[in-house]
Structure 1
């Protein structure tokens, strides 16, 4: 009888160990949500241009010569011979810096408001203005300094440059190899700048309602920090205390050794 009880207890422990801990699994409870609840969490995502963004704007037309004034070339300056300056054209597109007031200086059109527009909206606005000069222009706008920095308990911390403006927190973490097992999945810090002010939020990846957070989709220049979980914090504190104890013990041994050497020298 006792053997059966022990066997049953062992089986329960094995099954429990095979289960996924609640502090590790993402989006728990999402299978219990109704279609209406999932729809209510859906967000109309769009990236808007902000000051200090770098843009490339390519204008094309059926007549390439007509579009030339709207596509200034990028130049590199070098001085191979002392006293001379050579201008060399590059294949890179000219970049426009959005100033603090939200404007860019665009050829022919002059100052153009860019802040607050999406890439598509700015392209349509420029297309309308350029149509006064050339027939049926095509305008493509890109944000070239869109990047996200991810640090902490991830497998490959660093800065990523996504190819699409639509980037969720899950996409970003997936691009750096996911979280480590020591990550605190309930306390992901996201920091960003809005209207010149630094704001932040905490995301719990284990909850399905994270999908409705305004920080679920990331914006250009967002910063993500993944904190270690309590187990790793305790281990780190223990390791530091242990290292301190070893250092103190070594110092005491060194002091005793010096004193012993001195006493032996005096006695001789």
Structure 2
């Protein structure tokens, strides 16, 4: 009896240990136990890269003087990028800010250049949005008094995949956009998502690099150079062990059901053949 109780106790301990190892810590930043504090803020400025689409608008007190630097507007179809219909990706992105009229955009080519009216080919890759605006103002000021240039990146989007409520591509309409913003826009991580091992894939210097973020740890996440997102970033929230186990059970059930169906069908065919033989 004593041995039996001991064995039962060991089984319970093992079972509890197995269950606890499968648990996912649902809250974010569990290390923030104080009621207040501060964390250093990193840089969120975007650097222009090849394949970016830019809207550039030049204004001045004398608008006639800057007309030659502004490309005329174009009218195109209206689409919502985050709920895309049958429109092209470009039209979805360009018209997302305005339901009727879209700007002509400048696409940065693979070598990092754009073709700008009057000024010709300009190398812009590696600049921030603000740096490009200042660069153009200096160039244009040789012909126009006190020009003002605004630059906007219109195809900044990220992809959120895995265990989130609403996976998919997300169009971003501002430079300051963090991984927390992306997860919020995707409806947050589901209870089956692994918060301590979120994968981020980024294109840097012609390569795809990846980094894993632990959203239970505030210091490593908020101080990470991957906290603020960049163009074409991919965020993947992997399923926890419970979700993976459930998926395996569902697959096994489907396989067994399929095999049962095959066996029943085969048995039915054999039975029909036997009946046909005896009938003769």
Q: TM-score, normalised by structure 2?
A: 0.78
Deviation at 1:32, TM superposition (A): 4.6
Deviation at 1:76, TM superposition (A): 7.2
Tell me: CA distance 1:33–1:98, structure 2 relative to 1, closer, same or farther (3 Å).
Answer: farther
Deviation at 1:260, TM superposition (A): 2.1
Task: Verify the 8 A CA contact 2:154 2:173 in the aligned structure 1.
Answer: no
Tell me: CA distance 1:248–1:218, structure 2 relative to 1, closer, same or farther (3 Å).
Answer: same
Note the residue ranges of structure 1 that are not aligned, 5 or more in a row: 1-20, 78-89
Deviation at 1:227, TM superposition (A): 1.4
Deviation at 1:263, TM superposition (A): 1.9
Q: 1:226-241 alignment to 2 at 5 Å? A: 226-241=237-252
Deviation at 1:22, TM superposition (A): 6.0
Structure 1 residue aligned with 2:161: 151
Structure 2 residue aligned with 1:27: 29
Q: 1:63-142 alignment to 2 at 5 Å? A: 63-74=62-73, 91-142=101-152
Question: For 1:197 and 1:60, how far apart are their aligned partners in 2?
Answer: 38
Structure 1 residue aligned with 2:273: 262
Q: After TM superposition, where is structure 1 displaced by more than 6 Å over at least 4 residues in a row?
A: none
Structure 1 residue aligned with 2:80: none
Deviation at 1:44, TM superposition (A): 2.2
Larger Rg: 1
Question: For 1:57 and 1:254, how far apart are their aligned partners in 2?
Answer: 67
Higher strand share: 1
* Residue 261 of structure 2 is aligned to residue 250 of structure 1: yes
* Residue 198 of structure 2 is aligned to residue 198 of structure 1: no
Question: For 2:257 and 2:52, how far apart are their aligned partners in 1?
Answer: 51
Question: For 1:170 and 1:132, how far apart are their aligned partners in 2?
Answer: 43
Deviation at 1:94, TM superposition (A): 2.1
Note the residue ranges of structure 2 that are not aligned, 5 or more in a row: 1-22, 77-99
Tell me: CA distance 1:265–1:247, structure 2 relative to 1, closer, same or farther (3 Å).
Answer: same
Task: Verify the 8 A CA contact 2:24 2:192 in the aligned structure 1.
Answer: no
* Residue 45 of structure 2 is aligned to residue 46 of structure 1: yes
Question: For 2:157 and 2:193, how far apart are their aligned partners in 1?
Answer: 22
